[in-house]
Amino acid sequence: MASVEIREPEFSNIIDNNSIVLLDFWAEWCGPCKAYGPVYERVSEEFPDVIFGKIDTEAEPMLAQSFNIRSIPTTVAFKDGIGVFIQPGALPEDALRDLVTRLGELDMDEVRAEIETRSATENEENE
C-alpha cells in the first residue's frame, strides 16, 4: 500500500482503527523530506498491512504542534493506538524497514504494563 496523506479530521480514526501506523511529518520546501519521500514510499509498498501516513506540517500545523515537531522529516510510529516511536531526521531505508518489522513483533502487553508502571510511579512522586 502506498503512503496516504493524513489530515486532522481523519487522524484519530486512522490511529485508532489500524494496528500499525507510521507517520512522516514533512514539508514541500524541505530538502531532506524530498530525499526521504521516495524511501518512505518504497518501504510502504513492502508492508501492505501497515498504514504509512504523510502529514504536511504546513497544511496541518496543529498536528505537527501536538507532536512537538521541531525538525522535519520526523517519523512517528503507533501500534494499537499507542505511540511507540518518534525520531527526527530521515531514516535510512534498511532502518525504516527494520522499524516496521520490529513494530510487528512488539509485545503491546509489555508496553501497556510499562506505561502503567510509569504512571503509578509518577502518581506516587506527585503525592
Any idea which residues carry the catalytic annotation? Answer: 30, 33
Residue-wise burial string across 59-83, b where 16 or more C-beta atoms lie within 10 A, e elsewhere: ebeebbeeeebeebbbbbbbbbeee
62, 15 Cβ separation under 8 angstroms: no
* DSSP-derived secondary structure for 66-118: HTT--SSSEEEEEETTEEEEEEESPPPHHHHHHHHHHHHH--HHHHHHHHHHH
